[in-house]
Amino acid sequence: MSTTNSRDAGHGLACWCCGATFDESTLVRLGAHPEVGLCFDCARWTHRRAVEQADAGRAGIGVHGRQALRVVRAQVIRLGIHDWPLIGRLLRQLDQRLP
């Protein structure tokens, strides 16, 4: 009796961050740890956290602009505006294109 894992069986693979299931082609793998796979949304979130940590203690127009975006993003989420039918969809699309 042969054993198959989810990769061999053609099933989706779980994102190590959110746990949702995705195809291999839509997972971002870590170089030194290829067993770790993140979906695009979690990879984007991780990148934003890395940039936020890198910005700590720095100054400049780019740092201030990213901080302003973080504040606005947090307010939108706190107020639940991202769940509104029309404007929420537009904000989520815009969010994918912002740093």
Looking at residue 11, what is its pLDDT?
67
Structure confidence by residue, pLDDT tens digits, 4-20: 334 434 567 899 999 89
pLDDT at position 41: 87
- Summarised one tens digit per residue, pLDDT across range 37-76 is 999 989 988 988 888 888 888 888 888 888 888 888 888 8
Alpha carbon of residue 11 to chain centroid: 22
pLDDT, tens digit, 9 for 90 and up, residues 67-99: 888 888 888 889 888 888 888 888 888 877 776
Taken in order 92, 11, 27, 48, the sign of the CA dihedral is: positive
Residue 47 CB coordination number (10 Å): 13
